[in-house]
Structure 1
């Protein structure tokens, strides 16, 4: 079956553009002693040693800086006659206003201390002054958490429920599919695929959603990836659980960032970077991603080998024929193991970004993420006898984007002291593409469909069947008496397992042929015709010997027997193309934003 769905959406005039993923910083600078506002003070924000924006205070000491990419910044304030003030670790969240009030208020000390700067740390406010409910986790907080799952990180926010580590989340009782995920302004289709070391911050919105989130009925989880640094830096990470359990968890992470091209100052020294890069990669393998607290039961390896060598036993009551050897196992034939069998998971994540700043008010970012996973799926039905036949799944997700932000005016004209009616005007243009390909299949057959369920080659031999009777010639009308052929009778049903694509299935059938001959069984369907010990018809297999397309008889309807395979194959591909434009400006005390978004989706399924 093949289905394609095309969806194009154009959203609104004079409405905020969805997923702009920029924030705003507001504050008031005062004198520490008198409490009077410090007017015309200079305020700049720094990230990774690079000045990203700035402004000046008005007559009331207030300032506004926008747009700011989400992240953690240092805010520096300076003014003649005052010691420079530096507030470190200020968190700017997507689509939110960060207010520097209370413990985070900038209070400058009069009197210049040569070569000294007053440094304070940012305190995360307990109550958000905005109308959004939720929480923002910074990269520092994320690294300290005992998980690499974005869902699990988000679940530490009040109002979010998660059943188990790595599972989907429910926001305030909504269904898990009502949660929208956004990475660098891109609505996620498929897996997010972002290495933990590449995450700048995760913002979770659980309530008070703005109108621009029109297609989100639950909550929003926004991920912002890190940008380049003004200095070269690298990080290496390795984690393993091999010394402590049987899950064999291994994770290898790498991150590197730095400038490619820097400005040259008038004195010949290097200034801020014009072009910078960031690259992070993560490779993980684990034998069991969701281990049980009480372990898993399985048949012992030597017992399984015996079952394959002797699939059937003669029934105590000869009239019952043969029974599966698996039906006669006892508790001593099983063992409890710590991890699930044959559910190994391999995953590779990559995140890359190039930032260009050719002019002070022009910013271009190009980046993308890639995700590749290959894993075996757990099946409780096959867990006891046939975990080696667990289905295999692969997933490939990649996305690329380009975003251009153009600001208008300089810091002076956009500052609070400026008499301009229109300030902080900027436009943003973004285009992105996402592709997600998901496959599930049997590891041995993949998409060779005619290999599924193929046991071997069966050949039926027949002989004509006659009986005494009278036949009338249809032309002459003359009756004739004698032997009249009334049909055909199967005399031999041969099996050749050398052509099989499923050795275990062929083993069942060949073993049944052998035991049928060994015990000299008679065909039940031809009235004893022919010698004993020879299978005459396919009905003689009695559901024990397998024909093409059949699966082994289950064990007491509780578990699939050994050799029980996954019998399906499917592919699913999702594609998404998006183009966005937005414009924003402050007019007096009001912000006006407008924009549009065009989105096209193509969904295909085959199975």
Structure 2
């Protein structure tokens, strides 16, 4: 830790770095409106919601500057003796770190009046400080949009991909490359905030300021509302209950005001803001095509009678394999997929002096619901998993300004600094809604009482030196005569499968339920078993869909920001230190019963043999006719589970009692066992004593094959570790009983960063030049060599091996090159070399295929220890921290007041995420692992971004902007096959993907003209890469192909895209220009029926996205290699369009209080319609047919034999046909919501 802190401060002094709260600034000149002469020493005050947040005094030249300013909408008040007080309302400060230029023009007067001149601020069409591309959307605009969350706002910006209303790729990057900030806090976990809390959303697509890092794409920066000088509140109600059938309901509220006012009662020294949303939804997954589900009557029949006899005299079929479409309903909403969420945010602003500000804020989000599972919609929806998640974050920000004396001639001015400390926690939990963390109940069906009798055979044996011939010799204690079944109600639907089986073969135990093997062969279910699925398509009733898992992640962050003007240079610098702690644990609890089962599992494993060394004579009529042998106690074979279970039962740990695990009765809290004489007994075992701690960690890991557990940052019993264990503890540490604890620490990466940035003007050019330095330390152990699990000799020390003292190596082989020999044990010659990922033969010639080095004994490195067969800590080293230097250069060039050029060059990097945790269990159980292994050595990904743009004023209220961009994406993470690795090949990940994105965006911005406001964009984009996700290469690897490196269109490569926002509304009062109804007869003023009425329409769409067509049918039942038709990503889905609408009207109420009270209250009634045209956009297609509802399997000639061999071909065809009509292949349907907002 000390080393990290020293390095942090070293970076501070080396690069003077970092902060995140992306403040802006306001500057300009105070002028006489008539003469245009500068006015020195004028007072400028900025307010937000009536609370003063900043101020300045103009200098000799009339110039002023106010900073730092958080994004939002401000009112500016300017005063000077001999001039009217001027109030400019609605000055918008963006979140892109820009300077807002505004010249204040005062009107002179010879009278002393309290008159205030009020004008409304108009955002300039040409912003000469425009060096970043993106958009700023204010609370006023957001409040009228159909969707009022930050991600929805982002989808209205050109260059942001969206197929179905979601926020997807930003300018062709992978979705995880975009970062979201809320009030300066980087978001981990859920990014939702209450809708009424949003003050402003800034979307940055390019020209990323140097203070932002750890991203390779865009930024979504959300600023929430702050306190107000006067009390205010609002409530919102929204529902779709009687409109669309999807059961959406939301209640929102907000409250703000002062807690302590200043002396003049016109300022707030201590203010607060709080907002919340409560959402309750009948489904989390509305679909446009619906689902097939069993009718209630048929579902009940299937649950009560799940199996039928095979007709062969033994065994059963599940009745789900004989369903017909006539047994089904087609329903609109997936059942049991409801959810609810609680979302709160707030802040307190403490203003101790004019120049010191302290803000404390935080948010809390909680959600729970039943997870949607498509395979469960037919017959098992009532077993949908339950999930719970929490995200909460808090921050403290201290800001102090040192305003410059307007009379000062110093070159150093306007210094301020800001300190921020924030903390975030994200928790999640998922499990069966009935059992949750009661793990033993997941697989429990009921009590199986097994009746045993010993068996004998004629033979002879010598006892105490005497031979006994033709006597009965006991050869087994475990001949089962009957398995008696007693169902329990813990998993009643699954228990019905076994109850049905017993009913079918009632009175016929022989061959059916004489022993456990009979039950398994007959397709009956035991404890730990799951029902057979319906043709591997749908879940059968009662199937447990999930295990139990939970996670608990923390983020600690400290940052500092400072700014200083030196001449005409605005210098910003700062630093950041962040550490995350990522913990998780997951169980596969259904299989615990199989793991523990007596005889074949962990129980009684040490009693499988007879103790023939200690025979016992049995006499009959004084004649020995029988010799018995007790069970043999094998202490070395006894499992920890068995020991712990016997202790819990009060049985001797070294006793010969045979415990029947499946005889456990949850209701009675009892279990049966046989004593050493073969007599059955029942003893107590409280359900609370039946916990996961009965197992040892190794028993749950099960040698890495079908493991019942995975964890990090927790112990194996689910408790958070109080301290971080050493990496080698997993290999070596034991408890007091000598049992390996297998501790795995949490993932605790450390991220540090810093920047320095200079913003200045040179003639007409405005430059923003900076450099950012990131340091990422995964803070974990990594393999010394990803191709070697065990250390090996290199060229420099191979002479230590007998017989290799005088080996001559090719001259191009370096000392650190790994040496490969003809065989691991007792090698005789060198056959090749390797330098990192490059292979050479014995002559030093580079080769592409390492299998050339296999001379009959496998690819064999010259191991340091030829007998090593388990990984140890010697194979690992510390992660090498990665330092990334990222220059950022942007500039703007105003050609005139009506045109502007702008450009930027950015280098962006992002830490590796998701597949880089160093899990020691992966290496310890390496030989039994067949899935992907993480690569803890991954490096940050990198993007180089170029952009050139031009903005032109079209009219007094509109402008157009043309932007061209080019992005190079490097070091992206992709699956990689480590061919030639020892002791076996494996698949992991590597930084080998790359890609390019190029495009042009045309934007049209029409400010409100008469009634209409329009934002529109068109983007032409080409996004190609060697992979679109970390597993794109999986199909190539599965086909045995090498790690190919060719670029193809990415799934979000939408060639033509458009985003349009149209807001049309009538004003009120003098701004109303709609139809009027005259009331001349009554003498009343005309009615204005459309006053404060309007609508907002967002339109998103574009050309179809790519997919790879295949020449062969790709079926979920018969997975096989895709025989590519054409090129990868060479086919296109249809065009897509989506329209969202909001229609609303405001009703204002006059204030009943005086001038110092509440100014007004209003009611807004709105109708929100998502996907107005109910368009069924195709999101996914099947690669063989190109259709969304048919994969071609049922009609393919090559699959007819397999189809006709199904238990019921007719049922199979119908169920399969229903299954491929997957509603998730289409966009979400029309959703209609009615709401009202009351603010006062």
Fold similarity call, TM over 0.5: yes
Please name the residue that 2:896 is paired with: none
User: Is the Cα contact below 8 Å between 2:450 and 2:484 reproduced in 1?
Assistant: yes
User: Is the Cα contact below 8 Å between 1:238 and 1:251 reproduced in 2?
Assistant: yes
Indicate yes or no: 2:530 matched with 1:540. no
- Work out the CA distance in 2 between the residues paired with 1:185 and 1:128: 25
User: Residue 283 and residue 385 in structure 1: after superposition, are their counterparts in 2 closer, same or farther (change >3 A)?
Assistant: same
3-state DSSP of counterpart to 1:318: coil
3-state DSSP of counterpart to 1:160: coil
Indicate yes or no: 2:486 matched with 1:496. yes
Of residues 125-134 and 65-74 in structure 1, the stretch that sits farther from structure 2 once superposed is: 125-134
Q: How far does residue 56 in structure 1 lie from its aligned partner after superposition?
A: 3.7
- Work out the CA distance in 2 between the residues paired with 1:341 and 1:352: 35
Please name the residue that 1:311 is paired with: 306
Indicate yes or no: 2:384 matched with 1:390. yes
3-state DSSP of counterpart to 2:12: coil
Of residues 578-587 and 244-253 in structure 1, the stretch that sits farther from structure 2 once superposed is: 578-587
Q: 1:293 aligns with which of 288, 291, 297?
A: 288
Indicate yes or no: 2:398 matched with 1:419. no
Where in structure 2 are the equivalents of 1:199-218 lying within 5 Å? Answer: 199-218=198-217
User: Is the Cα contact below 8 Å between 2:21 and 2:184 reproduced in 1?
Assistant: yes
Please name the residue that 1:434 is paired with: 424
Per-residue CA deviations over 1:463-493 (Å, capped at 9, x if unaligned) read 33344x5434376574623554443432101
Per-residue CA deviations over 1:247-286 (Å, capped at 9, x if unaligned) read 1111001101111111123xxxx22111111111111111
Per-residue CA deviations over 1:281-331 (Å, capped at 9, x if unaligned) read 11111112231111122111111111122222234x435743212122111
Please name the residue that 1:523 is paired with: 510
User: Is the Cα contact below 8 Å between 1:257 and 1:277 reproduced in 2?
Assistant: yes
3-state DSSP of counterpart to 1:245: coil
Of residues 25-34 and 288-297 in structure 1, the stretch that sits farther from structure 2 once superposed is: 25-34
Please name the residue that 2:142 is paired with: 142
Please name the residue that 2:51 is paired with: 50
3-state DSSP of counterpart to 2:216: coil
Q: How far does residue 193 in structure 1 lie from its aligned partner after superposition?
A: 4.3
Q: How far does residue 60 in structure 1 lie from its aligned partner after superposition?
A: 5.1
Indicate yes or no: 2:324 matched with 1:325. no
3-state DSSP of counterpart to 2:18: coil
- Work out the CA distance in 2 between the residues paired with 1:493 and 1:48: 77
Q: 1:335 aligns with which of 329, 333, 342?
A: 329
User: Is the Cα contact below 8 Å between 2:240 and 2:248 reproduced in 1?
Assistant: yes
3-state DSSP of counterpart to 1:381: helix
Where in structure 2 are the equivalents of 1:253-268 lying within 5 Å? Answer: 253-265=252-264
Q: How far does residue 83 in structure 1 lie from its aligned partner after superposition?
A: 4.6
Per-residue CA deviations over 1:59-79 (Å, capped at 9, x if unaligned) read 555432111122111223445
User: Is the Cα contact below 8 Å between 1:15 and 1:212 reproduced in 2?
Assistant: no
User: Residue 352 and residue 7 in structure 1: after superposition, are their counterparts in 2 closer, same or farther (change >3 A)?
Assistant: farther
Q: Which of 1 and 2 has higher RCO (CA within 8 Å, sep 6+)?
A: 1
- Work out the CA distance in 2 between the residues paired with 1:19 and 1:354: 20
Please name the residue that 1:530 is paired with: none
User: Is the Cα contact below 8 Å between 1:7 and 1:599 reproduced in 2?
Assistant: no
Indicate yes or no: 2:551 matched with 1:556. no
Per-residue CA deviations over 1:113-162 (Å, capped at 9, x if unaligned) read 96251412323646673321111221122222222443222222222123
- Work out the CA distance in 1 between the residues paired with 2:297 and 2:543: 18
User: Is the Cα contact below 8 Å between 1:193 and 1:370 reproduced in 2?
Assistant: no
Where in structure 2 are the equivalents of 1:180-191 lying within 5 Å? Answer: 180-191=179-190
User: Residue 20 and residue 585 in structure 1: after superposition, are their counterparts in 2 closer, same or farther (change >3 A)?
Assistant: same
- Work out the CA distance in 1 between the residues paired with 2:378 and 2:148: 31
- Work out the CA distance in 2 between the residues paired with 1:397 and 1:321: 50
Please name the residue that 1:604 is paired with: 583
User: Residue 65 and residue 264 in structure 1: after superposition, are their counterparts in 2 closer, same or farther (change >3 A)?
Assistant: same
Of residues 424-433 and 226-235 in structure 1, the stretch that sits farther from structure 2 once superposed is: 424-433
Indicate yes or no: 2:566 matched with 1:587. yes
3-state DSSP of counterpart to 1:367: strand
Please name the residue that 2:67 is paired with: 66
3-state DSSP of counterpart to 1:271: coil
User: Is the Cα contact below 8 Å between 2:307 and 2:316 reproduced in 1?
Assistant: yes
Please name the residue that 1:381 is paired with: 375
- Work out the CA distance in 1 between the residues paired with 2:351 and 2:400: 10
User: Is the Cα contact below 8 Å between 2:44 and 2:55 reproduced in 1?
Assistant: yes
User: Residue 360 and residue 512 in structure 1: after superposition, are their counterparts in 2 closer, same or farther (change >3 A)?
Assistant: same
- Work out the CA distance in 2 between the residues paired with 1:218 and 1:334: 47
3-state DSSP of counterpart to 2:433: coil
Gaps of 5+ in 2: 587-1240
- Work out the CA distance in 2 between the residues paired with 1:504 and 1:349: 37
- Work out the CA distance in 2 between the residues paired with 1:375 and 1:216: 31
Q: How far does residue 245 in structure 1 lie from its aligned partner after superposition?
A: 2.0
User: Is the Cα contact below 8 Å between 2:302 and 2:319 reproduced in 1?
Assistant: yes
Please name the residue that 1:346 is paired with: 340
3-state DSSP of counterpart to 1:234: strand
Per-residue CA deviations over 1:205-258 (Å, capped at 9, x if unaligned) read 111112222312222211212110001100000100001122111100110111
Q: How far does residue 39 in structure 1 lie from its aligned partner after superposition?
A: 5.2
User: Is the Cα contact below 8 Å between 1:453 and 1:567 reproduced in 2?
Assistant: no
Q: TM-score, with normalisation over the residues of structure 1?
A: 0.88
Please name the residue that 1:122 is paired with: 122
Q: How far does residue 82 in structure 1 lie from its aligned partner after superposition?
A: 4.9
Please name the residue that 1:228 is paired with: 227
3-state DSSP of counterpart to 1:504: helix
Q: How far does residue 573 in structure 1 lie from its aligned partner after superposition?
A: 0.9
3-state DSSP of counterpart to 1:385: coil
Per-residue CA deviations over 1:354-385 (Å, capped at 9, x if unaligned) read 11112111111111111111111111121211
3-state DSSP of counterpart to 2:482: strand
User: Is the Cα contact below 8 Å between 2:170 and 2:205 reproduced in 1?
Assistant: yes
User: Residue 53 and residue 540 in structure 1: after superposition, are their counterparts in 2 closer, same or farther (change >3 A)?
Assistant: closer
- Work out the CA distance in 1 between the residues paired with 2:564 and 2:556: 27
User: Is the Cα contact below 8 Å between 1:523 and 1:540 reproduced in 2?
Assistant: no
Please name the residue that 2:27 is paired with: 26
Q: How far does residue 449 in structure 1 lie from its aligned partner after superposition?
A: 1.2
User: Residue 583 and residue 98 in structure 1: after superposition, are their counterparts in 2 closer, same or farther (change >3 A)?
Assistant: closer
Of residues 306-315 and 81-90 in structure 1, the stretch that sits farther from structure 2 once superposed is: 81-90
Of residues 37-46 and 586-595 in structure 1, the stretch that sits farther from structure 2 once superposed is: 37-46
Indicate yes or no: 2:249 matched with 1:250. yes
User: Is the Cα contact below 8 Å between 1:492 and 1:537 reproduced in 2?
Assistant: no
Please name the residue that 1:87 is paired with: 88
User: Residue 128 and residue 583 in structure 1: after superposition, are their counterparts in 2 closer, same or farther (change >3 A)?
Assistant: same
Q: 1:480 aligns with which of 466, 469, 478?
A: 469
Please name the residue that 1:511 is paired with: 500
- Work out the CA distance in 1 between the residues paired with 2:70 and 2:55: 13
Q: How far does residue 597 in structure 1 lie from its aligned partner after superposition?
A: 2.3
Of residues 578-587 and 344-353 in structure 1, the stretch that sits farther from structure 2 once superposed is: 578-587
3-state DSSP of counterpart to 2:202: strand
Q: How far does residue 567 in structure 1 lie from its aligned partner after superposition?
A: 3.4
Q: How far does residue 195 in structure 1 lie from its aligned partner after superposition?
A: 1.2
Gaps of 5+ in 1: 1-5, 526-533
- Work out the CA distance in 1 between the residues paired with 2:530 and 2:66: 68
Total equivalences in the alignment: 577
